[in-house]
A = this chain, B = another copy of it.
Amino acid sequence: MGVVIPLENKNRHAASIKQLVDLTKPGMERVNQLILSKAGSDVEMIPEVANHLISSGGKRLRPMLTLASATMFGYEGSHHVKLATSVEFMHTATLLHDDVVDESDLRRGKSTARMIWGNQASVLVGDFLLGQAFRIMVEVGSMDALDVLSTAASVIAEGEVFQLSVAKNMETTEDDYLSVIRAKTAALFSAAAEVGPIVAGTGKAERDALRSYGANLGLAFQLVDDVLDYGGSAAALGKNVGDDFREGKITLPVVLSYRRGSEKDRAFWRSAIEEGKNDDDALEMAHKLLLATNALNDTIARAEHYGAIARDALAPLPETAEKDALLDVIDFCISRVH
């Protein structure tokens, strides 16, 4: 039984972020230069650690969202480049701290910074990048953008603590889990998209549209990530398949499979997630139960649902190349499970 992806919008061309990458190429070159310059420091360890992560082949989806969501309203200044850099720094800081919190060894197929430079450097360089993110926002001087991004910073951390407090608790509901990912993933996607119309000086409707687009795209993105953790190959993913399982992480596939399973299945999940009996045999069993309960396909269906909301959020906006590219990103995020 394979994972089947129902593509709602079948007449769209093959889902890809190529259009977004092409559209934002000149802007992203400026972002990349600013990243190098603002992650610089006389303290050598800072650019070393920062660049390890920054150059490790992430897609830089979030800063591209910021660029496109500004230029789609005709913005031609440089504030969107600066805020895109802030967004990427906030994301990088979160990853550095996450790897410490999750005790991760690998990210995108490479050793995590904490494995090379230690937990200490990961915590502190994360703090430095967060401080730099705020300094760049101050350079831009938009109090609205500062409001959106500082709120995101709080909400992300709050979501991570909430995740910690529901960790290894198999009674976590789908709603609880959605609260976690709304905060820890969707909040930054949402802020990244909303600061575009802010620097472009649009009205409230455009801000609301981009905020909603970003938030729902973020939810879809995270849910697909949760499926990928049980479904791809390490080479393709740049992460270890089964990482979430071995770390005892509650994700939506697990929530669904647990609630739909027999008493015996639930006992298995409790022993695996709550008591840490998560060897290779247990991972194989988990796969079996996820498929038997249709939990992976239904998690993808949930992702499709949020993707549809994201699509409708942009519907009233004028047809631009940027809008088309942002719509493609939704399909791309979901099609990653192929």
Contacts and interface: CB of A to CB of B under 8 A. Distances in A.
Interface string A82-112: 0000000000000001001100000000000
A46 B124 contact: no
A121 B161 contact: yes
Interface residues of A, number: 41
Q: What DSSP secondary structure best describes chain A's contact surface? A: helix
Interface string A45-65: 110000000000000000000
A44 B165 contact: yes
A153 B129 CA distance: 10
How many copies altogether? 2
A305 to B, nearest CB: 25
Contacts of A160: 124, 127
Given A146-B146, A154-B135, A161 B101 contact: no
Given A138-B143, A153-B130, A158 B97 contact: no
Contacts of A119: 100-101, 119
A64 B161 CA distance: 30
A157 B125 contact: yes
A124 B153 contact: no
Given A130-B153, A131-B157, A162 B97 contact: no
Nearest to A160: B124
A120 interface: yes
A182 to B, nearest CB: 13
A76 to B, nearest CB: 23
Given A123-B123, A164-B121, A131 B154 contact: yes
A138 B147 contact: yes
Given A132-B154, A143-B138, A127 B164 contact: no
Interface of A: 41, 43-46, 97, 100-101, 119-121, 123-125, 127-128, 130-132, 134-135, 137-138, 141, 143, 146-147, 150-158, 160-162, 164-165
The 7 lowest CB-CB distance pairs between A and B, nearest first, are A131-B154, A131-B153, A128-B157, A127-B157, A134-B150, A101-B120, A43-B162
Contacts of A46: 158, 161
A97 B147 contact: no
A46 B146 CA distance: 23
5 contacts: A100-B120, A101-B123, A119-B119, A125-B161, A138-B147
A44 B154 CA distance: 15
Contacts of A143: 138, 141, 143
B124 A164 contact: yes
Given A124-B164, A132-B154, 6 more contacts: A100-B100, A101-B120, A120-B164, A131-B152, A138-B143, A138-B150
A146 B314 CA distance: 33
Contacts of A132: 154
A52 B127 CA distance: 22
Nearest to A41: B158
A45 B164 contact: yes
B127 A138 contact: no
